[in-house]
A and B are shown apart, each in its own frame.
Chain A
Amino acid sequence: MKPNLTSPRFNSPELPEAEFDCALATDRDAILPSSGFADSVMAAVSHEASMPPPIAFPLRRALPGFAAVVVALGVLIAAIVGLLRSAPAQHPVSFSMSLQTMAAPILHDASDVLWLALSLAVSVGSLLFCRRLISTR
């Protein structure tokens, strides 16, 4: 079947406004929902309605934890600020600063170093112990 070239539809390459509107009009481009559509929607709604409501976040129980985190952060910030203030102002902070200079405000004598080493050893020991426990399972 050949196209009817005498038809105005084919003679003009431009798409007339009315034809454009007609092609996209609602009544020309409609489908009917399948017969079970409403039932399937209501089944989904009923299923969702029958499910227990989602568990709310336990704000009351978490509140002490949040407060502790906020306090810890505050203490940490205050400690850092105090540490920076206690550093001598005339010597700008330098990356080449020796470990001894950096540790000086924290470590006052040899016993502090011992305690620090002991706590690090305990931490590493517990970490290794935990890893071994996990790997044996």
Chain B
Amino acid sequence: MPPQPEAHCVDAASDEAIVARVVAGDTMAFEAIVRRWQSPLVNLAWRFCRDRARAEEMAQEAFLRAWRNLAQFRGDSAFSTWLFALAANLYRTELRRIPATMQSLDEIAEPEDPIVAGAALDQSSRDESLRRAVLSLPVKYRDAILLFYFHEQDVPAAARTLRIPDGTVKARLFRGRELLRKKFSRARRATTFAGVAAQTPKEVQSR
């Protein structure tokens, strides 16, 4: 997850100092960058693929690419902005190459056993279904939603990472959430009705 804003400001200068050392030839100084940013980069990858092993592989590749291209970091923006943009770009390319295992909400709307499925649809499983459903959205909406929530609902930060205007992010967020809500509501309605139908008349009367 991204660090707190205050911590981020304090760390930005040291990030740039470390980058300068690495570019000057001190390879081991890069470890400080890896340790500081490993959690955000792994979590960003996790959001893109929902597969822990693959998330770590993609994050490692992102760090390697960052190390190779460190000399290209000019300091025009914060190091984190540069790093997240590089990582997001890599993750999107990787997902184009090998798509993530997605769970369509249309699929979970027709469970084999509605009683079990209805009971199992507690908050955590519903949240996980929703997160996986984000991956089934068209790419431009998926990326906007993933990065908006990754950046703790900060539109400008998501826009900087995606290198698109704020307005475009807002429009994609709106459309993506509409699509997701529509699909998710349909799935929930089907599951709820299945749960009601499964109850005995006595149970319904007692309510």
Contacts and interface: CB of A to CB of B under 8 A. Distances in A.
Interface string B168-203: 000000000100110011001100100110110001
A102 interface: no
Contacts of B207: 5-6
Interface in B129-162: 130-131, 134, 145, 149-150, 152-153
B131 A10 contact: no
A9 B123 CA distance: 9
Interface string A6-44: 100110011100001111111111111110011011101
Contacts of A32: 39, 42
A30 B149 contact: no
B177 to A, nearest CB: 7
A132 interface: no
B94 interface: no
A46 interface: yes
Contacts of B80: none
B60 A31 contact: no
Contact of A41 (B47, B64, B192): B64
Nearest to B199: A2
Contacts of A13: 185, 188-189, 192
A38 B185 contact: no
Contacts of B38: 33, 37-38, 41
B9 interface: no
A116 to B, nearest CB: 54
B188 A24 contact: no
B170 to A, nearest CB: 15
B30 A45 contact: yes
Nearest to B193: A13
Given A3-B121, A5-B196, A13-B185, A23 B31 contact: no
Contacts of B30: 42, 45
A37 to B, nearest CB: 6
A10 B177 contact: no
20 contacts: A2-B203, A5-B195, A6-B207, A13-B189, A14-B185, A15-B130, A15-B184, A15-B185, A20-B130, A20-B180, A23-B130, A24-B145, A24-B149, A29-B46, A40-B60, A41-B60, A42-B30, A42-B31, A46-B28, A49-B27
Interface of B: 1-2, 27-28, 30-31, 34-35, 38-39, 42-43, 46-47, 52, 55-56, 59-60, 63-64, 67-68, 115, 118-119, 121, 123, 126-127, 130-131, 134, 145, 149-150, 152-153, 177, 180-181, 184-185, 188-189, 192, 195-196, 198-199, 203, 207
